[in-house]
Amino acid sequence: MKKNILLTFVLVLFTAVSFADGVPTKNNVNTITNGSAVVAGDDFLLPDGYFNINYNLGWTAGDMSNFIGENSYRGFSIDGRKFINDKITIGGYMGWTGFFEKFDRKTYPIDNSTTVTGVGSNTYYNFTLGMNAHYYPLQNSAIKPYVGVSVGPTYQTINTQIGRYYIENQSWQFMIAPELGVFIPFGPDSDVGVNTGIRYNLVSFQNTNYGISNGISYFQWFVGISFEY
């Protein structure tokens, strides 16, 4: 299954990049020849796009914060983006996130007639892939803020364990993740820099066994390396 997921992501990313072209970029310079002088077009410094590798720190929100209250230090994401005009990119996204919380030994109610005594834990993992779109309002500035959104399927595992009592749900769900970020190059002529921002993730999952009726939601602060190409 992991191989199929990876192949699907590669196909999604290749499809997104394939139909995004026609942008003035570093590799597509408009020139005007006047005698011996060559004048570059105004947008010759625009990149074709970005490739980002991020570490993600997460914290839960809504119903999910009642299920797991601990922050997540286990998360990463990669994405590719290509300009379809001088301010808008489209591309593909892939990420993995894990949340875990352990509880003290006590007696937990299971239903109206059943209780279980033991050490408890709640766990949530997901693997997400999909499409993204971003808007860069200040493309020609030294630093480049952006706003964007990623959408696509996520394969998740959510479980509760109390002693020997164990329930688990594995399923494909739909996720939407708007984000606000900024690319900060390492220097005025650098094609490499820091990519950082905040992302809100909402997964369309409902299950009363876990106390989740309004979807799984969590925030992420992401920071990583961005490469212009």
pLDDT tens per residue across span 195-220? 999 999 999 999 988 999 999 999 99
What pLDDT score does 41 carry?
45
- As a whole number, mean pLDDT of residues 162-188 equals 94
What pLDDT score does 191 carry?
93
Mean pLDDT of the chain: 84
What does the pLDDT look like over 31-45, one tens digit per residue? 444 544 444 444 445
Residue 94 is part of a domain; what is its CATH number?
Answer: 2.40.160.20
- The total domain count for the chain is 1
Residue 170 CB-density burial (10 A; 0-12 exposed, 13-18 middle, 19+ buried): exposed
> What contacts 48, CB < 8 A, 6 or more positions away?
23, 25, 26, 27, 82, 83, 228, 229
What does the pLDDT look like over 124-140, one tens digit per residue? 999 999 999 999 999 78
Between residues 1 and 83, the one the model is more confident about:
83
Full residue range of the structural domain in which residue 120 is found: 2-228
pLDDT(123) > 60 = yes
Q: How far is CA 184 from the centre of its chain?
A: 18
Structural tokens at position 148 = 């964007």
- As a whole number, mean pLDDT of residues 85-100 equals 97
Q: What is the pLDDT confidence band of residue 144, given thresholds at 50, 70 and 90?
A: very high
